[in-house]
Amino acid sequence: MERRRVIAGNWKMNMTQESAKVLMLDVIKWMPKNLPADVDVVLCVPYTLLNFVGEMIKGTRIKLGAQNVSWAEKGAFTGEISSAQLIETGVTHVIVGHSERREMFNETCEMVNKKIKTALANNLTPIFCIGESLEQFDRGETKAVVARQVKEGLNDLTEDELKKIIIAYEPIWAIGTGKTASSKDAQETIEFIRTQFSTKVSKTLPILYGGSMNKDNAKELLSQPDIDGGLIGGASLKAHDFLCVAGSCI
C-alpha cells in the first residue's frame, strides 16, 4: 500500500460560524472536481464549530478533525474533551502534541503518548506533531530532538498502531512566523524521521510538513519524495490560499 497524501487545515482559535460558512462553501465547491483520489483533506476546527462544519461536509471527501483530545475517557477534567465526545460530532482525526500545546500548556511527551493511545483506542487518527525550536535548530540538534519526541511520544505502540497515525513535522521557529524550512532541510529531516520506523511502517506512514506552508511554497515542498502533505495554519483560513495548497498535490 502506498502512502496517502494528507492536507490538514488547523484553524486554531479562529473563525465563527459566519466566516466558516463563507470559507467552506468555496472549499466544498472546488474539492469534488479537483482533489486527486489519493489525497485526504482534513479540517481541524475549534470545538464550537465541529457540529457546524461537520454538517457542511457531509457527503464530501473532507474529513473532520479536532485540535486536541484528553487522555481520559470521562470525569472531572474541566475544559477538556474526550474521544467519545469528539466522535459524536463526526470527528475522525485529532491533532496531538502541537508545539503550542507543549509550550503554552506544558504538555509533556508522556502526556502526548497517553493522548495518542486513547485516540487510537477509540479509532481516532492522531496527527502527531513534532519539531525543534530555533535554538535547537541553530545548535544542530534537530535530528536528536525529533528522534526523542518520536521515541517518547510513541512509546509502547505496536506496529499495527503505528500504521494508524499521521506525523506532522513542524519546526517551531517556522510556525506562524512566515519563515519556512527550505525544501532541502524539510526533506532531510522528514527522511530522517521515516528511518525511526520499521520498513513495514514507514512504507505507509504519512509524514506532513507544517510551519508556514502556503500557496507560494507548497508545490516545492510537496514535490519532495518524503513529504506527504502539510499541516496548514494561517493559509487554511483563506479559501483561495488553502485550495492553492491542496491544488499543489495535483
Distance separating alpha carbons of residues 116 and 227, to the nearest angstrom: 22
Q: What is the pLDDT of residue 17?
A: 98
Where along the chain do its domains lie? 5-247
| 144 three-class SS | helix
* Catalytic residue list: 98, 170
Cα–Cα distance for residue pair 31/198, rounded to 1 Å: 34
Contact 187, 227 (CB under 8 A): yes
3-state secondary structure of 10: strand
What does 148-195 look like in DSSP terms, one character per residue?
HHHHHHTTT--HHHHTT-EEEE--GGGTTTS----HHHHHHHHHHHHT
Distance between CA atoms of residues 230 and 44, nearest Å: 13
Alpha-carbon gap, residue 145 to 170, rounded angstroms: 12
Q: Give the closest residue to 69 by CA, choosing from 35, 29, 117, 21.
A: 117
Nearest partner of 20 among 66, 42, 53, judged by Cα: 53
**At the fourth CATH level, which superfamily is domain 5-247?**
Aldolase class I (3.20.20.70)
Per the rule left: phi > 0, alpha: psi between -120 and 50, beta: everything else, 41 is beta
pLDDT tens for the chain, residues 1 to 250: 589 999 999 999 999 999 999 999 999 998 877 788 899 999 999 999 999 999 999 999 999 999 999 999 999 999 999 999 999 999 999 999 999 999 999 999 999 999 999 999 999 999 999 999 989 999 999 999 999 999 999 999 999 999 999 999 999 988 877 777 899 999 999 999 999 999 999 999 999 999 889 999 999 999 999 999 999 999 999 999 999 999 888 7
Residues written for the chain: 250
Model's pTM, two decimal places?
0.96
